[in-house]
Amino acid sequence: MSSCGCYGVPTSKRVKVEGQEIGISGYDEIMSKALEHLDKTDEEQRDVIRQGMKAHNYVPPALEKDYVEALWQEFRQLRAKKLGQVEERFHGIPREEIAWFPTVDVDKCTGCGKCVDFCQRRVYVLDDKAVVRNPYRCVVSCTGCTTQCSEDAISFPSLIELRETLKALRKKYGIISE
């Protein structure tokens, strides 16, 4: 790395901001940096992107939000690939509309960390107790981590609730059930 903090010759990519194609300098560097923070929250990852983008590009203040959003959408695809996720949609439904993720009872949790180590999707982080840091990375209908908890501290919505939620969302998005 050079003394100015750059990573050699910056790469560039055109992304759509508000319907217009804009060249983003340092695209690969911005994405690589953000991918180093997979254990952080979406907001923290978004912040890494914002900082990287501003370090490599002049961003008109009025458009900063739109630039970040455009890069964020690109990043989500790369992140999904890196995490081995097939999709950020579940059968055509945006994943973040499906309230399926674990809830930890802090009074029961002893902070043993078994669920944190078990979950390949990095849904949890350990901060004294297990914390559900990335809820929407949880695989819809998976309850695997409950088998790790001897304290019965992890719970999920019921499968009946999930079925009802999916039914309503399929209707909302006009998706014909299989």
Within the chain, residue ranges assigned H as helices are 27-35, 42-56, 64-82, 114-118, 159-172
Cα 144 from Cα 71, distance rounded (Å): 33
Nearer to ligand SF4, 11 or 143 (CB): 143
Q: Are 29 and 52 in contact (CB under 8 A)?
A: yes
Nearer to ligand SF4, 53 or 130 (CB): 130
Interface residue with ligand SF4, options 85, 151, 157, 162 (CB under 6 A): 151
Q: Are 28 and 75 in contact (CB under 8 A)?
A: no
Interface residue with ligand SF4, options 130, 133, 136, 166 (CB under 6 A): 130
Restricted to residues 45-104, the positions that interact with ligand SF4 (CB under 6 A) are 102, 104
Does 112 interact with ligand SF4 (rule: CB under 6 A)?
yes
Does 157 interact with ligand SF4 (rule: CB under 6 A)?
no
Residue 42, burial from CB neighbour count under 10 angstroms (0-12, 13-18, 19+):
middle
Does 145 interact with ligand SF4 (rule: CB under 6 A)?
yes
Interface residue with ligand SF4, options 111, 157, 162, 170 (CB under 6 A): 111
The size of the interface with ligand SF4 (CB under 6 A), counted in residues, is 26
Q: For residue 23, count other CB atoms closer than 10 A to its CB.
A: 10
Q: What are phi and psi of 157, to 5 degrees?
A: -60, 165
Q: What three-state secondary structure class fits 15?
A: strand
Interface residue with ligand SF4, options 30, 31, 93, 154 (CB under 6 A): 154
Contact set with ligand SF4 (CB under 6 A):
102, 104, 109-115, 118-119, 121, 123, 129-130, 138-139, 142-145, 148-149, 151, 153-154
